[in-house]
Structure 1
């Protein structure tokens, strides 16, 4: 059973709700472009027009794009648990299964509400935690690549469960939970404890500097220092710091550090960065599968994966040629030519 799937995430399925308000918190009446209308037409009949409800959750974007277009892997090579509360819209399950029903493991939670997040950045509701034990005995158990996003303390619990499974040695891709929650200096001791078990550590720049008590805002020099420090603290394979318009900085002990530029860094193309980090890391996992675990090659796939996510609120539009009418392979070639 070990390695039956290429990639599984322990991230939660979240239905995002987007609101638009001015500096005083008053609704602006702003809509969310054609993406909003697409989801409303296909999924959201009868839902309030005061909120834009789009599906945007941990690494879903990159499941389809990175694996089905880059790696040409069928849906049964990727997986995610979807916890369905009693309010779960049945139309969403129908749409998800169109991408490949075998990638989803739906779990009914009749006594609970479906996890939702309010993207006004004033708060969210996230109740159900997913751990490696939830994969045991299921079609998702023992994947080759395992992604998780949580606090350092929680990461220690996850890795203890991974290490308790005989013969399972996945590539672990750890994304610390965002600033303002657990990427704080007080979590650094817990992070030090778990880093020797982590294959790839990938915070964003603000998270990295906050954990190490470095000054903000980030710049390339401080980001490089932070990445070197995390490597020194014991990360097994690589540190990748996702740095927005500056791109991404990767460092390993045997090949040194390198910057990879962002595919887009202009206001015309960067519409909404929600989910970009998740898509980046899913694309990274796809790149590892394709390249035979060459992480310096995989980071190009990661960057392209994120480029589609930031072009609109919510999910990219799936087309016959790729996403948003563009081919991931074309973007991959263009990005490589820049370097």
Structure 2
């Protein structure tokens, strides 16, 4: 029996992480507590999570673009170390690798992120002809995508995946409006409350999570809508009428050291659970446990747990 294939098409960034006791006010200069660089990017993080959390019989492939620089080399090696197949990662000799500047508030473990796409912008439709998915070996069991590569590329890939009957898991982050006619191309849509608010045209402070999930399903999503709420858990709803609230991981505030990458860990874990045959409810619960383990460790990718840790 051929292995299940989770393919991630998305971003690879180097994280430039500064830690501070609090976030600076406009015009204010603070002395940071620390600075370090680390592999990241939503695509790479979700690929690392899927690979680390996969059992036997699942392969994880990353498709994207890095620059021909030290950051690009280290990004590919970090994915290999997590068990990801990086044959589909293109090295662009002209563009620099993508970067993300991350400021982490030590007191709250919350973060602020500023992204430069760099080579990620080179992941264009030209790389993916109409026959792209039919040439994959082993065949794709699930396609996982985000929005740190050009939107038109993602929409093109949703079309191809839908035509090929491939299960798509879409995490539209950072969120931008999605044309309504593309929702019926998605099997599973995973968003946080900020992204849910943007997609439904609501204010975050006034967001009715259950109503938002219903709205997104009514636009044509084929399988499920999952809305994550950080420390408050989350909510899921499926086309066959199932739904419910996710209970958050119960932990002491002192145990939460870094929320960076928790959402990516959730998405990667969800993809693994789906290809392993779990129901959406089971996938959501398991992904929540994985994200809960992630926030106890530092680093977007470095802190992602392995399967034996759950």
Separation in 1, partners of 2:237, 2:39: 33
Q: Deviations over 1:275-328 (max 9, x none)?
A: 2222111100111122x2511111122112222332223334589xx47xx721
- Separation of aligned partners in 2, 1:260 and 1:235: 20
Q: How does 1:60-71 map to 2 (within 5 A)?
A: 60-61=44-45, 63-64=47-48, 66-71=50-55
Q: For structure 2, which runs of at least 5 residues remain unmatched after alignment?
A: 104-111
RMSD: 3.1
Q: Is the 8 A contact 2:274 2:283 kept in 1?
A: yes
What's the offset of the Cα at 1:147? 1.0
Q: 1:148 aligns to what?
A: 145
Q: How many residues align structurally?
A: 287
- For the Cα contact (< 8 Å) 1:206–1:218, is it kept in 2? no
Q: 2: distance between equivalents of 1:318 and 1:298?
A: 17
Q: Normalising to structure 2: TM-score of the pair?
A: 0.79
* 1:64–1:99 contact (8 Å) kept in structure 2: yes
- Partner of 1:193 in structure 2? 181
Does the 8 Å contact 1:18/1:118 carry over to 2?
A: yes
For 2:86 and 2:68, locate their aligned partners in 1 and report how far apart those are by CA, in whole Å.
22
What residue is the counterpart of 2:83 in the other structure?
Answer: 100
- 55, 58, 67: which one pairs with 2:39? 55
Query: What residue in structure 2 maps to residue 301 of structure 1?
Result: 286
- What do the CA deviations read for 1:99-126 (whole angstroms, capped 9, x no partner)? 3363553422111111111124473210
1:73 Cα shift?
3.9
Cα gap change, 1:173 to 1:16, in 2 (>3 Å) = same
What secondary structure does 2:66 align onto? Answer: strand
Aligned position for 2:114: 123
- What is the TM-score normalised by the length of structure 1? 0.73
Q: Which whole-Å CA distance do the structure 1 matches of 2:157 and 2:223 have between them? A: 18
- The match for 2:106 is none
> For the residues of structure 2 that align with 1:251 and 1:163, how far apart are their CA atoms?
21
The structure whose Rg is larger is: 1
Equivalent position SS for 1:22: coil
Measured after TM superposition, the shift of residue 262 of structure 1 is: 2.1
Contact residue 101 and residue 113 of structure 2 kept, 8 A: yes
Secondary structure, counterpart of 2:174 in structure 1: coil
Specify the SS of the correspondent of 1:286: helix
- Deviations 1:249-292 (Å, cap 9, x if unpaired)? 111132432111122565323222222222111100111122x2
Please give the secondary structure, in 1, of the residue aligned with 2:269: helix
- Tell me which protein shows more strand as a share of its residues: 2
Structure 1 alignment gaps of length 5 or more: 32-50, 329-339
